[in-house]
Amino acid sequence: MATINNGQIALTGGVINLAEKASPKVVEAFSRESCTEGLFSHDYDWTGVRTVRVYSVDDLPLNDYNQTKVDGTSRFGTLVELGDTVQEMTVNQDKAFNGIIDKANNTSVLMIKAAGKVLSRQMKNVVVPYVDKFRLGVLAAGSGLTKGSGALSKTDIIEKIMTGNAAMSNELVPDTGRVMFIGYTEAIKLKLADQVVGIDKLGEESIVNGVCGKIDKCQVRIVPDSYMPQVDVSATSTPSMKAVKFMIVKTGVALAPKKIETYRVVSNSYIVDGSIVQGRLLHDCFVLQKKNKGIYVYTEA
């Protein structure tokens, strides 16, 4: 049951504003495109299944070849059983939304709540930010290189980034396809760093404007501070959560399957005289255990 008070209709889940004279323009909330698309491997097929098992073969030890052996045993060294590792991944994140746009209320606000626009707005303002934050949290938690910690300054931030890149390279992670995520507040120090201010004009503009600039061959993606996750840095059973200052990710070290993406506008439903805006996203994110050294995390002290 709805109640009208001072030009508003109060409904379960929110309030619909009914102005006697309304502008046909909707004041849009600020939004941004996804910052994590393009990071993930597509080597595995999730069609028709929610669980995928990934098998990886263990490495064999390298022996000295013994050319002098004549006792019938192998000159190649001790024969060992080739081991393997199995990683099982099940998609569990099942999210949905469900909203009503009543025909009478829609007319009262000069049709500015058109269902299609509502759906588009929901995707930009709610779904995309949620997915990005979730993925960044999983990537940080799955890092195999949580090495650096401490405050960052404009005098040492470039060195700290290069140190992270070096740690990944020392683990034989390819130096191509690396992406660094950093929050806007910490990125101020990056923009003011002497090494950045001194680079060529194109590079300077890329970093300062938060476009896809590069530092030490690493693509920079500057994101809202709220996107940067916290990670458990404790080596014990007692969690010690620390805020991530920046994170370097090698593309292809993780999977981000989307099993179901249902976004629709239901019209002429017997439930309501109007439209229903619905959405469902069955998704998840997994770091491949054999490739977790492809994620470097630098946290607060």
Q: What is the pTM of this model?
A: 0.80
pLDDT in tens, the chain (301 residues): 444 454 444 445 555 444 444 444 444 555 578 888 888 888 888 777 888 888 877 778 888 888 888 888 888 888 887 777 788 889 999 999 998 888 877 665 555 567 788 888 888 899 999 999 999 999 999 998 876 778 899 899 999 999 999 999 999 999 999 999 999 999 988 888 876 655 544 445 555 444 457 888 888 999 999 999 998 877 777 778 889 999 999 999 999 998 888 888 888 888 888 888 889 999 999 999 999 999 999 998 8
What pLDDT is recorded for position 182? 94
What pLDDT is recorded for position 52? 84
Check which CATH number belongs to the domain holding 136 and give it.
3.90.1690.10
Domain interval for residue 218: 89-299
Residue 4, domain member (yes or no): no
What pLDDT is recorded for position 15? 52
What pLDDT is recorded for position 255? 92
Residue 94, domain member (yes or no): yes
Residue 225, domain member (yes or no): yes
Q: How many domains does the chain have?
A: 1
Residue 204, domain member (yes or no): yes
| Long-range contacts (CB closer than 8 Å, 24 or more residues apart) made by 24-28 | 24/110, 24/111, 24/112, 25/112, 26/112, 26/113, 26/117, 28/121
